[in-house]
């Protein structure tokens, strides 16, 4: 860096000339000869005015660089964690397969050798990617740190050329950082293999045991099997509604349900400790540690589970392999309700600056749409007029967000005060469609909603412990079910099939009639 700055104001091209202006098109100092030759036709600003302008620009770039440095340092920590995970998973995997392989017959030896080779190759490829990303991040850290030190020193001086050079270098360095998407993906699927290669009847069963052992050895508490008490009944509580089954899923209340397949769904209870996949039989198939209180869950069209993390101001993803990642950073806003439109994988998140029921003119209570890549698409801030002619936010505390998969409508469980709230329905474009109940004095505490193919809305009310069926316009059609305990969550599987999670930790599966029967 000793030759980075020139010691005089002489032009680097025309040595006999001095810098007199700055080219507005090129952000470079120019002399008189530069103005009439290389920069002919450009506009210029004299040095005195340019000094003030570029000092301000450098100050802004400095702030961006400092923020980028913090992000780079966080990514370095994440890279280090990925490196440790790669070592643990790969080495543990090799040991498990080699020890288990000794007990298999000669027919398995060829496959075990192939698996071992693939694991080593995967480990090598993973470590190469991680080391490359680590080197890149360290280089960016060193470069940005150096420029920050120089920028802080130059801001107290009046050397225009040095300030312009630092302005360009910092911008280039920050742009390079944002342009480089570090590859941190590690292959955690290389223990999988096809069981039918050796054409043995019992091979699939043997491989299934091996795969289960590998999973248990490389992932903590990935699977948890329990057999809760379960009872079934066909008793009809209301006309057109059939109770399919009822089972105990947790010792705590069921806070959120996310349907996965026809007979199973993800759920988490009010503790937010674990995210579990449970069958309709009541058996927990899978359990992942989440540790996210007051969160909501949803799923993309390709089976990626999303969970809101209000305390961390982010949305996390849970992959099929149990990998947890931060996906969307919501800056200084806390995400609560979350929903996904399967056609486009558009993600809608309810965001607040603080979780309370006191909304002021400076409060931030909104919905935000993100693309499947995590980019902001739209912000929805709906307001209504007051009696004094002012406006107030319709959204107070967006506890849950649900998407109508049939027409794209957005439903919000909006808590407005202690044990009181309403349901807000917006169109896909963000226009307010209706509020239920329309009158604020009505005693109503919604906990969840679900949409069906008739664009009707099922609403779970904690006050009456009833499930109401609302018309597409927001009117009450009828009551479809009465719960024994407070209904906290709903999961809609299609064709009128609904899971109801209650405050005592039980889940009830029902099937209700979407269309009214024609009168005889």
Cβ neighbourhood burial of 103 (10 Å; 0-12, 13-18, 19+): exposed
Distances 387 to 168, 364, 368, 434 between C-alpha atoms, Å: 54, 22, 28, 19
pTM of structure:
0.55
Furthest-apart CA atoms within the chain: distance in Å: 103
Whose tokens are 């609302």? That residue is 470
Cβ neighbourhood burial of 456 (10 Å; 0-12, 13-18, 19+): middle
Q: What are phi and psi of 3, to 5 degrees?
A: -100, 20
Distances 214 to 109, 227, 320, 509 between C-alpha atoms, Å: 17, 23, 15, 34
Residue 465: per-residue pLDDT = 92
Of 240, 281, 209, whose CA–CA distance to 509 is shortest?
281
Distances 442 to 420, 422, 437, 459, 466 between C-alpha atoms, Å: 9, 9, 7, 15, 15
What are the structure tokens assigned to 298, written together?
């949803």
Residue 82: per-residue pLDDT = 80
Cβ–Cβ < 8 Å for 328, 368: no
Helix axes 109-154, 47-101, angle to 10 degrees: 160
Residue 400: per-residue pLDDT = 96
Of 289, 325, 85, whose CA–CA distance to 187 is shortest?
85
- DSSP assignment, residue 155? T
What are the structure tokens assigned to 6, written together?
């020139």
Cβ–Cβ < 8 Å for 316, 322: no
Residue segments in the chain with a per-residue pLDDT below the cut of 70: 1-8, 96, 99-108, 175-237, 385-390, 516-520
Residue 104: per-residue pLDDT = 62
What contacts 466, CB < 8 A, 6 or more positions away? 479, 481, 482, 483, 487
What are the structure tokens assigned to 43, written together?
């506009």
> What end-to-end distance do the CA atoms of the chain give, in Å?
91
- Long-range Cβ contact pairs of 189-196 (< 8 A, separation 24 or more): 189/321, 190/93, 190/115, 190/118, 190/119, 190/122, 191/93, 191/97, 191/115, 191/119, 191/215, 191/218, 193/111, 193/114, 193/115
Residue 446 to residue 464: CA distance in whole angstroms: 10
């Amino acid at each position: 860096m000793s030759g980075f700055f020139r010691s005089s104001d002489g032009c680097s091209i025309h040595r006999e000339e001095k810098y007199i202006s700055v080219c507005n098109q090129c952000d470079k100092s120019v002399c008189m000869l530069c103005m009439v030759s290389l920069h002919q036709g450009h506009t210029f600003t004299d040095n005195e005015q340019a000094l003030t302008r570029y000092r301000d620009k450098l100050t802004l770039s400095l702030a961006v660089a400092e923020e980028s440095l913090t992000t780079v340092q966080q990514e370095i920590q994440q890279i280090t964690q990925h490196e440790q995970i790669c070592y643990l998973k790969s080495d543990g995997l090799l040991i498990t397969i080699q020890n288990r392989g000794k007990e298999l017959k000669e027919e398995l030896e060829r496959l075990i050798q192939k698996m071992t080779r693939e694991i080593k190759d995967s480990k090598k490829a993973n470590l190469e990617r991680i080391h490359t990303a680590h080197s890149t991040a360290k280089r960016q850290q060193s470069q940005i740190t150096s420029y920050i030190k120089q920028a802080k020193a130059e801001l107290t001086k009046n050397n225009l050329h040095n300030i312009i050079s630092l302005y360009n270098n910092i911008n280039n360095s920050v742009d390079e950082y944002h342009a480089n998407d570090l590859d941190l993906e590690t292959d955690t699927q290389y223990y999988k293999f096809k069981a039918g290669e050796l054409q043995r009847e019992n091979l699939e069963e043997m491989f299934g045991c091996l795969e289960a052992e590998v999973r248990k050895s490389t992932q903590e508490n990935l699977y948890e099997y329990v057999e809760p008490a379960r009872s079934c009944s066909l008793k009809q509580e209301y006309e057109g509604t059939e109770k399919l089954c009822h089972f105990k899923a947790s010792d705590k209340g069921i806070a959120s349900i996310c349907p996965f397949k026809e007979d199973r769904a993800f759920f988490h209870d009010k503790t937010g400790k674990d995210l579990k996949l449970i069958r309709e039989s009541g058996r927990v198939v899978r359990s992942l540690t989440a540790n996210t209180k007051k969160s909501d869950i949803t799923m993309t069209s390709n089976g990626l589970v999303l969970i809101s993390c209000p305390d961390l101001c982010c949305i996390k993803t849970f992959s099929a392999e149990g990998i947890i990642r931060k996906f969307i950073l919501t800056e200084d806003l806390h995400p609560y309700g979350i929903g996904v439109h399967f056609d486009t994988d558009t993600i809608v998140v309810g965001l607040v600056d603080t979780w309370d029921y006191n909304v002021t003119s400076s409060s931030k209570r909104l919905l935000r749409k993100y693309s499947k890549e995590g980019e902001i698409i739209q912000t929805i801030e709906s307001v209504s007029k007051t009696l004094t002619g002012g406006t107030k936010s319709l959204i107070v505390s967006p506890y849950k967000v649900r998407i109508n998969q049939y027409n794209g409508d957005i439903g919000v469980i909006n808590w407005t005060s202690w044990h009181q709230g309403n349901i807000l329905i917006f169109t896909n474009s963000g226009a307010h469609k209706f509020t239920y109940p329309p009158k604020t004095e009505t005693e109503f505490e919604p906990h969840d909603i679900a949409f069906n193919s008739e664009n009707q809305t099922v609403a779970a009310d904690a006050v009456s412990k009833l499930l109401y069926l609302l018309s597409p316009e927001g009117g009450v059609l009828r009551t479809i079910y009465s719960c024994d305990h407070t209904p906290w969550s709903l999961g809609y599987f299609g064709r009128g099939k609904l899971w109801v999670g209650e405050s005592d930790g039980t889940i009830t599966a029902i099937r209700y009639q979407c269309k009214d029967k024609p009168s005889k």
